[in-house]
Amino acid sequence: MTKELSHKSTLRELKTDRGVLRYHEAGEGPPLLLLHGSGPGVTGWRNFRGNLPVLAEHFRCLVLEFPGFGVSDPVEGGHPMALAQDAAVRFLDGLGLDRVRVIGNSMGGIVATQLAVAHPERVERLVTIGGVGRSLFGPAPAEGINLLMEFTEDPTREKLVAWLHSMVYDPALVTEELVEERWEQATEPATLASARRMYGRAAFAAQAAAAAKADATPLWAQLHKVQAPTLVTWGRDDRVSPVDMAVLPMRTLPRGELHVFPDCGHWVMIEQKEAFESAVLSFLNRPVEGGR
């Protein structure tokens, strides 16, 4: 029988040299790091609270709250994505974890993949949920990202609802309760300021220009460096990161495989909860060469 878990009972704190990192911990066994996505009112708890009871039956689940999203201490300076990657490394170091399995949703999947590229010895298995790839056929940015930028520039409830609807296949998932909890955190001044460093239109354009000027190698062109067995999961009806983005990861990840879920938007772990958990547990628990 799956055990009920509460926000209060699982919340922990880790003091680091760049402030307190907060996280949720549940279960015993091999460590499983869960990294949340971005967007108005997001937290690690809200992304993964529904999956935590099932995953905690098999793993020591650690749901990290990234700085800049209203839970962990904020960190001044830098892009929220870079701060998230730094936080993930500080978190592993602070808990004395040399090697972990990782699940990353959207932005969290990008951070997890960056971790697997930069520190391959630390990532044993990798699961991503949308976001890691490059759009081949559709416009970029996609509909959901444009709606996210519109809300970030001018936050209204109507724009929040429009963005939330772009995240899901089934509009019934966008409840008044969901809107209220997202609205409260998304409009908190420090959290909104952090979001604007990432999704304000000027900031978004500046990031693209800076990357082009620096001639930096994009993440999608570095996927061949990921050594860990990787499960790429995607919603077939994703309007934030369209499913054609999965083609490049599917083809270039040396030990990658792809699972596409029907009738599903960007929140695979929520909208196809049971199917997602089944696929992920099968992958994470599957024996591979070397006994890892």
The set of catalytic residues is 266
Q: Please give the structure tokens belonging to residue 267.
A: 């929140």
Q: Which two tokens stand for residue 136?
A: 């081949």
User: What tokens does 168 get?
Assistant: 């899901």
Beta sheet of 60-64, edge-to-edge order: 11-16, 19-26, 60-64, 31-35, 100-105, 123-129, 230-235, 256-261
Tokens standing for 10? 């699982």
- Cis preceding-peptide flag for 141 (omega within 30 of 0): yes
- The rounded distance, in Å, linking the Cα atoms of 15 and 45 is 19
Q: How far is CA 209 from CA 47, 114, 163, 204, in A?
A: 31, 20, 25, 9
CB 33 within 8 A of CB 100: yes
The Cα–Cα gap between 43 and 35 comes to: 9
Residue of 205, 214, 217 whose CA lies nearest to 145: 205
The DSSP H or E segment spanning 100 is strand 100-105
Half-sphere exposure of 65 (CA within 13 A, CB side): 28
Residue 268: CB atoms within 10 A of its CB come to 26
